[in-house]
Amino acid sequence: MNNTQEPLPRTPLHLEVSFKRNYARKETVGTLKNISLSGAFLELCNHDLRVREKINLTFVVAERERKITAEIVWSNSVGTGVKFIPHNNRDVQIIDDLIYYVETKRMGHRGIYDGILKKVS
What is the pLDDT at residue 97?
86
Percent of the chain scored above 90 by pLDDT? 44
Q: Is the residue at 99 inside a domain? A: yes
**Domain residues for 85?**
11-120
Residue 82 to residue 71: CA distance in whole angstroms:
5
Q: Is the residue at 23 inside a domain? A: yes
Residue 75 to residue 48: CA distance in whole angstroms:
9
Amino acid occupying residue 112? I
What is the pLDDT at residue 2?
46
Name the pTM for this structure. 0.77
Average pLDDT estimate for 94-112:
75
Q: What is the CATH number of the domain that holds 106?
A: 2.40.10.220
Q: Are the beta carbons of 26 and 69 closer than 8 angstroms?
A: no
- Which residues have C-beta within 8 Å of that of residue 101, sequence separation ≥ 6? 61, 62, 110, 113, 117
Q: Is the residue at 20 inside a domain? A: yes
What is the pLDDT at residue 75?
94
Q: Is the residue at 104 inside a domain? A: yes
Torsion-angle region of residue 105: left (phi > 0), alpha (psi -120 to 50) or beta? alpha
What is the pLDDT at residue 41?
96
What is the pLDDT at residue 7?
65
Q: Is the residue at 4 inside a domain? A: no
What is the pLDDT at residue 1?
47
22-57 tens-digit pLDDT: 887 889 999 999 999 999 999 998 888 999 999 999
Instruction: Quote the number of domains for the chain.
Output: 1
The mean of the pLDDT values for the chain is 84
Percent of the chain scored above 70 by pLDDT? 81
More confident residue, 2 or 60: 60
